[in-house]
A and B are shown apart, each in its own frame.
Chain A
Amino acid sequence: MTTTQGALEYTAEPRIRWRQHAVTFGRIAFALLLLAGWKIGADVAGPVYAADPVKVAQRIVEDTANGTLLRHIYVTVRLAAIGFAIGCFFGVALPFLLRLLPRLTNAVEPYIMASVGVPKYALIPLFILWFGIDDAPKLWLVGLLVFYPVFIAVFAGIRNVDARLVNMARVAGAGEVAIAREVVWNSLLPFFFASLKIALPRAVSAAIIGEFLVGNEGLGYLIEYSRQNFDTTGVFAGVVVATALVLVINAVLVWIDRRLSAWRPVERDMEL
């Protein structure tokens, strides 16, 4: 451990490298198998129930070329991003505030935990009633669905902070702000990122569901509008694009997590 200069790079043994190739090959083969299964299934079920993957691909290319698809993606991403930012902000800020008020925390904790059990999607009609049919009800839905996993993870993360590190920092002259930023925040980063892996796909899902019900733009609207017009290919195209969107967001998240937790000794190759 003391011999290398910073970067720890190992060249894989030939056997291991061969195994890695085998894994890559397996993955591609599995993807082709899935596509073939989809194609066969579509042929068997007929175009009303399942769309042909080739036609779906063509549709995606067409809609991308004429700009409509990008507009729908932009609307959904914008909605998910704003709702995510709001939910995430409160999900992080509230535990930090509660940290300073232990008695209040003990008083409100059962209520917060009980509110986790409220099915958020069941509140959509109320949100529409209260907040109208613009972005507001959808933002509430996305925000709430993001808030809970983040809040619970950060809350647990704060309880998990090593008291010895906090004491060390205090003795060394750190004030409460420095402790919160340096010790507490860095300790709970792994918890925070674990919660983001749940919250980010949820934000996209919630945005799409909101768009099913309210509005005339976005991927959710595209999927529902296509269904109403018996355009199964359009429905499948929307689902494929939504899935791709979540995968891209996850990849970005994994990349950020890897950069921020480069210090961690293990788990480096255990990403989702």
Chain B
Amino acid sequence: MTAEPLLEVSDLAKRFAARAGRDAPPWVIQGLSFAVKDGEFLTIIGPSGSGKTTLLNMIAQIDTASGGTVRFQSQSAPVGDPKALNPGLSCKIGYVTQEDNLLPWRTTLQNVLFPLKVQGRLNEKTRAHADALIRAVGLGGFERHYPHELSGGMRKRASLIRTLVYDPPVILMDEPFGALDAQTRTQLQEDLMRLWDLGRKTIIFVTHDIAEAIALGDRTLVLSRAPASIAGEHEIGIPRPRDIRGIMTHPDFSPLYQAIRAQVQ
């Protein structure tokens, strides 16, 4: 168990299909390799356009790789044939996307219960769990509101707990707090840390914010500019539980920040 990583990406490559009459498109990702341990909080940082979302899409099996392999629990994702993909790997990998992707015609509660409903796991116990999550992220009282009646931060929270509610062992997060103001973002980071401390899931968290990558992660990978590969790797030794608001005053923070910033180009 300990020897085999939970998720292993090796020599991954991706480029999108060419449009008729144009040159072959450039590689978005090339020669990307890394592994994730069970229960690890991995943060990935990279400049915009470095294929971070594409990488997560391939891990979640929404998109196929053009080369290399993605292995989850020793099973390789199919290469080349989009129809052979198994998005979410039978609910083992949850995905909190960059946009909240809430169903606009469903209320907050219905959106949060959606995965349980389609998985046929809606019962007293899971409902109670959903209720607890809704209250834990401060959405209590907004259960019957539609997404357009919520603020951006509330929509993010709803989309976050929609994934947490069905308890996938791995969760991918694609700049989930990217478009929020600093105050709301810190609040959500603290919520996420608190929830993660309860469950200790495996999380792959993509961000372009260096401070966020350090504050949340056990380990940070730095991606290069396209075609993306690993430009650097940093263990974050800051002990948990961490003080997110005061993280910058921790003695380890500044050297890490400098080292990562030097690699994010």
B114 at the A interface (CB under 8 A): yes
Which residue on B lies nearest to A261, using beta carbons? Answer: B105
Q: Out of B105, B118, B154, B162, which one reaches A263, CB within 8 Å?
A: B105
Q: How many whole Å from A198's CB to the nearest CB in chain B? A: 23
For residue A10, give the distance in angstroms from its CB to the closest CB of chain B.
14
Given contacts A1-B151, A164-B101, A182-B103, contact A174 B118 (CB under 8 A): yes
Q: How many residues of A contact B (CB 8 A)?
A: 25
- Kindly state the separation between the CA atoms of A164 and B159 in the bound complex, as whole angstroms: 13
Question: CA A183 – CA B91 in complex, angstroms?
Answer: 18
B interface majority secondary structure: loop
Q: Check B103–A165 contact: CB distance below 8 A.
A: yes
Q: Which residue of B lies closest to A186 (CB)?
A: B105
Interface residues of B in 94-112 (CB under 8 A from A): 94-95, 97, 99, 101, 103-107
CA distance A246 to B99 in the complex (A): 43
Docked Cα-Cα span, A261 to B90, in Å, equals 32
Bound-state Cα–Cα, A261 to B106, Å: 10
Residues of B within 8 A of A261 (CB): 105
Q: Whole-angstrom distance between the alpha carbons of A263 and B102 in the complex?
A: 13
Report if B242 contacts A (CB, 8 A).
Answer: no
Q: How far is the CA of A167 from the CA of B118 in the complex (A)?
A: 14
Other A-B pairs, 13, CB within 8 Å; known A1-B151, A173-B115? A1-B149, A2-B151, A5-B141, A168-B101, A169-B118, A171-B62, A171-B88, A172-B114, A172-B115, A173-B166, A182-B103, A263-B104, A265-B146
| Chain A interfacial positions (CB closer than 8 Å to B) | 1-2, 5-6, 162, 164-165, 167-175, 178, 182-183, 186, 189, 261, 263-265
A–B Cβ pairs within 8 angstroms, 22 of them: A164-B99, A165-B101, A167-B62, A169-B118, A170-B62, A170-B87, A171-B87, A171-B93, A171-B94, A172-B115, A172-B163, A172-B166, A173-B91, A174-B114, A174-B118, A178-B118, A182-B118, A189-B105, A263-B106, A263-B107, A264-B104, A264-B105
